[in-house]
Amino acid sequence: MKNVLLLLLLWTLSACNTEAKQSNNAKPTNTQNSHTNPHTTMNQSTEQPIDSCVLAGGCFWCLDAVYRQMQGIINVESGYSNGQIKNPTYREVCSGRTGHAEVAKIYFNPTLTSYQQILEVFWRIHNPTTLNRQGNDIGTQYRSGIYFMNEEQERIAKASKQAVEESGLWAADGKVVTEILPLNNYWPAEDYHQDYFANNPENQYCVYVVSEKVEKFKKTFSELLKSK
């Protein structure tokens, strides 16, 4: 009986099976493929320099919540990328049949942080050795990936991955399986996924999974936290 209860708890803590994540499939009003316009979701009146990058490391709620804590980050948008269909819904992506990865599109001020620094955080807040899986979230949509937008991002990403492999950071867990590919497409996720951790603090997945990653970031990268 105890084993059954444990399995049930682990199942409910999978992002695909949280009630809140299944409760709404409305697409955001902006369904443009924002790969063609990296500033689609930003306030066009801002005067600060803006760059962007796209990362996949399990459930996008986790990456979203972590990077919102980091200095130099202007905004984070949860979305889907590198799949086979246009403008997918969450349910379609969660089926594992669209080829899309859950991603975070990170908008940052390059005078306050760098792509390299963002990747240094990336390698430590998820496990890059588990193929198509993060914890209890299993499927190709939860793969580890870096999707570059230009040659410079490609160069930095590959050098960063090599540095992690040579450092032995994840050696005890196995080989780093993170894919590094061009960003072929990107679609913003449904509105209710955006800034999910802050908007749903009592959700069990947020309590037991997302919060753990946020706390790990705060302890490991305390010097990179946004000032209050």
Q: Catalytic positions, please?
A: 59
Which residues, including other chains, have CB under 8 Å from residue 18's CB and lie 6 or more apart? 12, 203, 204, 205
The whole-angstrom separation of Cα 40 and Cα 44 is: 9
Q: Which residues pair with 77 in a beta bridge?
A: 105
- Residue 59 is encoded by which pair of tokens? 């459930």
Which residues, including other chains, have CB under 8 Å from residue 171's CB and lie 6 or more apart? none
SS3 187: strand
- Residue 180 is encoded by which pair of tokens? 């590094």
CB 87 within 8 A of CB 27: yes
C-alpha distances out from residue 181 to 81, 133, 184, 185, Å: 11, 18, 8, 11
Angle at Cα 88 formed by Cα 87 and Cα 93, nearest 5°?
Answer: 155
Question: For the chain, how are helix, strand and coil distributed in percent, rounded to 5?
Answer: 40, 20, 40
